[in-house]
Amino acid sequence: LEGKSSVYMRDIVNHFHTRRLESLRFWLLHAIGSIHSYLCGQVLQSLGLVLEEQLARADSLDAIME
C-alpha cells in the first residue's frame, strides 16, 4: 500500500512539473512574439523613415551608397 501511494505522489509531482514547464514555454513564446512584434513594428518602421529621408536628400548613387 505504501508503494502505491509513493507512485501516486510521484505522478502528481511529475504532472505538476509538466504543467509548469508548459506554462513557462507558452510564456516564453508570448514574450518572444511580443519582442518580435515590437522590433518589426516600431524599430523597422523608424529605420525605414530614416532611409526614405536619406534617399530623398541624395543627389547621386554615390551619396546613397555612403
Query: What is the chain's pLDDT, residue by residue, as a tens digit (66 residues)?
Result: 455 678 888 899 999 999 999 999 999 999 999 999 998 999 889 999 998 998 999 888 888 777
Domain ranges of the chain: 2-65
Identify the pLDDT of residue 1.
Answer: 46
Question: At a CB cut-off of 8 Å and minimum separation 6, what does 54 contact?
Answer: 64
3-state secondary structure string across 48-62? HHHHHHHHHHCCCHH
Question: At a CB cut-off of 8 Å and minimum separation 6, what does 58 contact?
Answer: 64
Evaluate whether 48 touches 54 at the Cβ level (below 8 Å).
no
